[in-house]
Copies of this chain bind each other. A is one copy, B any other.
Amino acid sequence: MPSIASPIFRPDQRSADTLRTLRITPGYVSTAEGSVLIECGNTRVLCNATIEQGVPGWLRNSGRGWVTAEYGMLPRATLTRTARESERGKVGGRTHEIQRLIGRSLRSVVDMRALGERTIILDCDVLQADGGTRTAAITGACVALAIALGKLVAAGTLKTSPLRQMIAATSVGIVDGNVLLDLAYEEDSRATVDMNVVMLADGGLVETQATAEKDSYSRAELNQLLDLAEGGIRSLFVAQNEALARAL
């Protein structure tokens, strides 16, 4: 049975329950309404929020807004070059899966009626990938979203921000029998179980996805993974709030 107490050797000397070095840089580009560069160790994701007037057809005249996400990876974010999806003429399954997860997560914290008939697009582009890009994207996109909505409030367009609370995410997994927080790529590729957890600031769970890569897992292991994730995500909320304080 795995245990977080056994002696383990992580590539960067971290303990099992420690996040990688985290850096959130607000205002990375000046062209977007909200922009954040989030760095989790060597993983770097540029998250830009766009607010557009209007909503997709099925919401027209509903008085409600919409939030969606797009995810991309630069060809040399990875150690061997990945072909551009624009060149291949289609968006791949992994990209679809990730951007649906990001969109769904961010929609869960926005009051669509308070937003009104506006669409928010969260572009999450990976400049460098070292594991955990989708969870970094969710954590960074929430800050970009908060900044963009904050500007609408500051401009008097909205009375209060439609952002009900912050949301953040991390990955956890079982590697060589150890339950580890915030896997880097090298760890992720050896993991027998890989899990993504998306949590609200109030502790409510929004997405939990645990996948057995090489071996199945038990209910006990699932609970250990969730314990570890919850601890890590609480640290992410602190970092998000610091970044927001700097941005305003």
Contact = CB atoms under 8 A, between A and B. Distances in A.
Given A75-B123, A87-B70, A125-B74, A205 B226 contact: no
A148 to B, nearest CB: 11
B74 A123 contact: yes
Given A31-B129, A210-B207, A75 B50 contact: yes
Nearest to A91: B86
A72 B74 CA distance: 9
Main SS at interface, chain A: mixed
A81 to B, nearest CB: 4
Interface in A76-109: 76-79, 81, 84-87, 89-97, 99-100, 104, 108
A76 B31 contact: yes
Contacts of A104: 211
A42 interface: yes
A77 B205 contact: no
B212 A79 contact: no
B207 A50 contact: no
A207 B200 contact: no
Nearest to A109: B216
A75 B70 contact: yes
A4 interface: no
Nearest to A29: B128
A198 to B, nearest CB: 9
Contacts of A75: 48, 50, 70, 121, 123
A211 B207 contact: yes
Interface string A183-225: 0000000000000000010111111111110011111001100
A229 to B, nearest CB: 11
A121 B219 CA distance: 31
11 contacts: A31-B128, A48-B75, A75-B121, A81-B121, A87-B91, A93-B97, A93-B100, A205-B217, A205-B222, A206-B211, A219-B223
The 8 closest A-B pairs by CB, nearest first: A204-B216, A93-B96, A85-B86, A48-B76, A32-B76, A86-B86, A96-B96, A50-B81
Given A31-B128, A72-B74, 12 more contacts: A29-B44, A74-B125, A75-B123, A84-B86, A86-B91, A89-B89, A93-B97, A93-B99, A108-B212, A127-B127, A209-B210, A222-B226
